[in-house]
Amino acid sequence: MRLPYKQSLLVSAITLFVAVACSKPAAEYRQSLFIFGTVVDLKLRGVSDQQAKEAVQVVERAFQRMHRDWHAWKPGELSALNRSFASDKPHPVTPFLLPLITQSQLLFEQSEGLFNPAIGKLIALWGFHSDELPSGPPPSPEAIAALVDLAPGMDDLEVSNGQVRSHNPAVALDFGGFAKGYALDIAIDLLHKQGVESAIVNAGGDLCVSGDHGGRPWRVGVRHPQGVGILAAVDALDGECLLTSGNYERYRKHDGVRYPHIIDPRDGLPVRHIASATVIDREGGRADAAATALTVAGPGDWYHVARRMRLKYVMLVDEAGTVYMNPAMARRVDFQDGAPERIIISDPL
Ligand code: ADP
Ligand code: MG
């Protein structure tokens, strides 16, 4: 059938419009993944839906591998390595796991041992190697002392030619305070490799951003220490990550006492004085490790640790709700329900 001239022009115009509309980048592509026991929200901008979908699939596959191979207690590469430490023999490690170990060694040293992923046995002793929250009385002081006295640390590990051995059989690696941040770095990297410039990857309030949000910075929230809603809003700039360590979500409770999941490697006890620590950094892994180290350091020592780790933006909230910040962080946070009653601003870092 031949259409009259005017009608065929109209059809061509519509076809052209539909074709342009389909190839035009969608304003924002959103997808949620359930991984690491949490929901990871991704928002991608400036690419077509199809490109975004494929890019997210690549990220999802990487996340699944991390979940398996970096898991501290379920069968996978890390748990096999941990078993090998009993023997003081070198054990081969894939290039997928190795950087977690070498970077953690550096962060362990910079944090003066407060970030210490070698204390997996202590974390297990406290019952946190389980998907469920532990219950019942805390472990005995003798059992805790037995592990603390052996002083497992990242400096017990010898890394050479892709092999790792531990000179201390008390070492067991647990990257619960690092892997999420490091995974966010990899996710952003994978998105870049697929041509995605503007994106946010948000794992329950721990996030990294790339590019911007339609000409404006990505507006993100700082997790509330009590675990409900957000404490403050911040503009996250291209390449920044914001990570929070919190003591409220995972803990055991016995006789009215809470025993949170962040452990002070010096005495083997859960940290109680700090409710949350937030760090903004250009590396998610470093920010995650630093937030854990600052939680352990507490109100008295955080400033010293932040300087040693060369951090730029730090905020802590203690059990009484007092907020501690460096001036550069104070200039960036926008508290949501009015400013907290007590804010202590340190000297510049
Ligand atoms: P969140 O889970 O709130 O993000 P973290 O990033 O601090 O908090 O991670 C806490 C996890 O880190 C714990 O569940 C445990 O696996 C591990 N961990 C506990 N204490 C330490 C420590 N001192 N150094 C390194 N990792 C730790
Ligand atoms: Mg951490």
Task: Please state, in angstroms and as integers, the Cα–Cα distance from residue 291 to each residue in 5, 225, 327, following that order.
Answer: 68, 13, 17
C-beta 176 within 6 A of ligand 1: yes
User: If pLDDT is split at 50, 70 and 90, which confidence band does 132 have?
Assistant: confident
Average pLDDT over residues 197-220: 97
Nearest CA to ligand 1 atom 16: 176
Q: For the chain, give the percent of residues with pLDDT over 90.
A: 83
Give the model's pLDDT for residue 337.
83
User: If pLDDT is split at 50, 70 and 90, which confidence band does 91 have?
Assistant: very high
Average pLDDT, the chain: 92
pLDDT at 48 over 50: yes
Give the model's pLDDT for residue 4.
46
DSSP 216: B
Give the model's pLDDT for residue 226.
83
Residue pLDDT, tens place only, 157-188? 999 999 999 999 999 999 999 999 999 999 99
**3-state secondary structure at position 314:** strand
C-beta 111 within 6 A of ligand 1: no
Average pLDDT over residues 95-121: 98
> Using H for helix, E for strand and C for coil, what is the string for 2-70?
CCCHHHHHHHHHHHHHHHHHHHCCCCCEEEEEEECCEEEEEEEECCCHHHHHHHHHHHHHHHHHHHHHC
Average pLDDT over residues 298-326: 97
C-beta 246 within 6 A of ligand 1: yes
Average pLDDT over residues 82-111: 96
pLDDT at 210 over 60: yes
Mutate to test the pocket of ligand 1, among 38, 244, 261 (most ligand atoms within 8 A of CB): 261
Give the model's pLDDT for residue 293.
98
Of 106, 97, 122, 83, residue with least CA distance to 155: 106
Give the model's pLDDT for residue 273.
92
Mutate to test the pocket of ligand 1, among 226, 292, 317 (most ligand atoms within 8 A of CB): 292
Q: For the chain, give the percent of residues with pLDDT over 70.
A: 93
Task: Please state, in angstroms and as integers, the Cα–Cα distance from residue 81 to each residue in 69, 116, 321, following that order.
Answer: 10, 17, 40
Give the model's pLDDT for residue 24.
52
pLDDT at 11 over 70: no
Write the burial class of residue 11 (CB in 10 Å: 0-12 exposed, 13-18 middle, 19+ buried): exposed
User: If pLDDT is split at 50, 70 and 90, which confidence band does 21 have?
Assistant: very low
Q: Answer yes or no: are the C-beta atoms of 25 and 45 closer than 8 Å.
A: yes
Give the model's pLDDT for residue 22.
43
Give the model's pLDDT for residue 6.
46
User: If pLDDT is split at 50, 70 and 90, which confidence band does 25 have?
Assistant: low
Give the model's pLDDT for residue 248.
80
Of 73-82, 129-138, 298-307, the least confident: 129-138
Q: How far apart are CA 221 and CA 207, in angstroms?
A: 10
Note the ligand closest to the C-alpha atom of 288: 2
